[in-house]
Each structure stands twice: as structure tokens, then as C-alpha cells.
């Protein structure tokens, strides 16, 4: 089975996780109320009672703090996906559930915590390292499913594996990339059903 890369951002500064948690919690609250762009490191310093210089010992920039929050959001999505596909009886059903779960988790984040979703969208426009790792995670999960389907005889074997996986990712991208999903929300649920069906028909041996 292909090893899935970690989404976790690199830490810097003193290994005082209580302080890191305080900073991230304060940032999450500020971002939720005022948005990522309108919140400054000075705002966070005032909220926690630290100096800006002290915060910079732990995080090199506002984006670095946003990376941790984005990592949390994307990890939640991937955990949801993992749970959704864990007991799928076939590779075909695993692919269907994966697409549906990615769309639903992203849509839920958009509607229930829009300002945190905006962090993920900002991260995707970068793209930030957490988003690149998230995209690679999805591509490798697709590859795993294709291999399972080929081994079971569900999927054709003629097309090169990397080409097949990349094509499927490109079909899914407008509905799973945070930056693009916000423009496709009205069609997302329907697309997850219809496009996964189309992809599966194209994979038939």
C-alpha cells in the first residue's frame, strides 16, 4: 500500500506546546470572527497577552499560524474520508464514497465555519505546503483505489496508472479544492454522484 504523506506543518521555536496551543486557539477565534486577512499578529498578541516578538519565537508569520489551522481543517476532511471508505466492499464503492465524502466535508466546512473555510481557500491559492500535501494525499488515495480495482478485476489495466489517477483527480478537483469548491457549491452534491459514475464507467474492463 502506498504511504500517505503527512499534512503536518513543521514546527519552530521552543517546544512549549501549551503556548503553541494558546496562540492557535486565539488565532482560530480571531479568524472565525474577523477573517484571516483582517487579523494581524498584533491582534493575536493582544488577545493572548504576549508580545509579537514572543509569538514569532513559535511562528515565523501569520501564514505559519494559518498553516496549523488549515492543517487541522484538511486533516478533519481526510479523517472523514477515511472513515467513509474504510468498510466499502469494492474499489468502485470506495471511489464513490471518497468523492462524496470529500465534497460533503468541504461543503460542511464552507457553510458551518465560512471564515475558517476562507483560510483553506487562501491556502489553496498559495498554495501552502499543507494544501500541497492534501492534494498529494488525495492523489495517492486515488492510486490505491485504482490498484485495488485492477487487482480485483473491476478496473481496466491498459491505461498507465499515473495517467489514470491524475485524470480522476482532475475530474474531482473543482469539487475538492477549497479555492474552486466555493464556486461550485450548487452543483457539488450532484457532481459527486454523476462524475463518479462517469469515471467508474470509463474504468470498466
What tens digit of pLDDT does each residue of 47-85 get?
Answer: 888 899 999 989 998 889 988 888 888 888 889 999 999
Query: With 80 as the cut, is the pLDDT of residue 195 above it?
Result: yes
pLDDT tens, position by position, 14-46? 455 688 888 888 888 888 888 888 888 998 888
Q: What is the DSSP string of 75-125?
A: HHHHHHHHHHHTT-SSHHHHHHHHHHHHHHHHHHHHHH-HHHHHHHHHHHH
Measured CA to CA, the distance from residue 201 to residue 195 in angstroms comes to 10
Measured CA to CA, the distance from residue 202 to residue 204 in angstroms comes to 6
- Predicted structure pTM score: 0.81
Query: With 50 as the cut, is the pLDDT of residue 1 above it?
Result: no
Amino acid at each position: 500500500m502506498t504511504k500517505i504523506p503527512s499534512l503536518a506543518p513543521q514546527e519552530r521555536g521552543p517546544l512549549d506546546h501549551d503556548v503553541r496551543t494558546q496562540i492557535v486557539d486565539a488565532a482560530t477565534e480571531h479568524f472565525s470572527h474577523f477573517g484571516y486577512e483582517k487579523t494581524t499578529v498584533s491582534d493575536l498578541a493582544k488577545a493572548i497577552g504576549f508580545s509579537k516578538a514572543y509569538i514569532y519565537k513559535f511562528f515565523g508569520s501569520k501564514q505559519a499560524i494559518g498553516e496549523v489551522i488549515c492543517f487541522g481543517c484538511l486533516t478533519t476532511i481526510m479523517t472523514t474520508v477515511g472513515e467513509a471508505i474504510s468498510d466499502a466492499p469494492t474499489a468502485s464503492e470506495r471511489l464513490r464514497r471518497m468523492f462524496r465524502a470529500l465534497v460533503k466535508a468541504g461543503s460542511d466546512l464552507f457553510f458551518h465555519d465560512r471564515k475558517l473555510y476562507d483560510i483553506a481557500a487562501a491556502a489553496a491559492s498559495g498554495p501552502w505546503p499543507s494544501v500541497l500535501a492534501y492534494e498529494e494525499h488525495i492523489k495517492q488515495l486515488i492510486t490505491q483505489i485504482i490498484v485495488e480495482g485492477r487487482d480485483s478485476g473491476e478496473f481496466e489495466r491498459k491505461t498507465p496508472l499515473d495517467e489514470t489517477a491524475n485524470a480522476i483527480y482532475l475530474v474531482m478537483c473543482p469539487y475538492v479544492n477549497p479555492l474552486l469548491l466555493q464556486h461550485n457549491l450548487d452543483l457539488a452534491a450532484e457532481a459527486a454522484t454523476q462524475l463518479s459514475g462517469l469515471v467508474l464507467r470509463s474504468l470498466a474492463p
